[in-house]
Amino acid sequence: MPAAPQNLIIEQGATWRAIFMLLQPGATGAPIADRLPINLAGYSARMQIRPDYASATVLAELTLANAGISITPATGKIDLYISAADTAALTFTDAPAVYDLELIEPGGDVIRLLKGRVTLSPEVTK
């Protein structure tokens, strides 16, 4: 399955959070409330933001180890987090950066879950 496109906006100088819920596929037209979560027990995740796809420069990296990502296995919930101090240090305001979010299955397979552009909205109040 290809990575789903999802563009992000980060407010410079503010705490940034995004929450995603992974749900089992449902019948066509079925309400989302009727879909069951995907159990993420044993999964890991990682995300990087870079100036462009070919760049070796990492502007931000989120992992379980650095508390930028947390997973609630039973609910299929993935929380992404960047502190206000870390968003204040971001400076790519001239052009959008790019990111992707990968899930690592317990057996080691990698799923590229999301991808897209990251726009940084510049901070005025400092």
Domains defined for the chain, CATH in brackets? 4-23+42-121 (2.60.40.10)
pLDDT digits (tens, 9 = 90+) for 31-78: 877 788 999 999 999 999 999 999 999 999 999 999 999 999 999 999
**Which of 12, 9, 15 is closest to 89 using CA atoms?**
12
Please check the confidence at residue 114 and state whether its pLDDT lies above 90.
yes
Q: How confident is the model at residue 87 (pLDDT cuts 50, 70, 90)?
A: very high
Please check the confidence at residue 83 and state whether its pLDDT lies above 90.
yes
Asked whether the beta carbons of 59 and 117 are under 8 A apart, the reply is no
The rounded distance, in Å, linking the Cα atoms of 110 and 122 is 33
Q: Based on C-alpha coordinates, what's the Rg of the chain?
A: 16
User: What was the pLDDT predicted at 21?
Assistant: 93
Q: What are phi and psi of 78, to 5 degrees?
A: -120, 120
Q: What pTM, to 2 d.p., does this model score?
A: 0.90
The rounded distance, in Å, linking the Cα atoms of 10 and 16 is 6
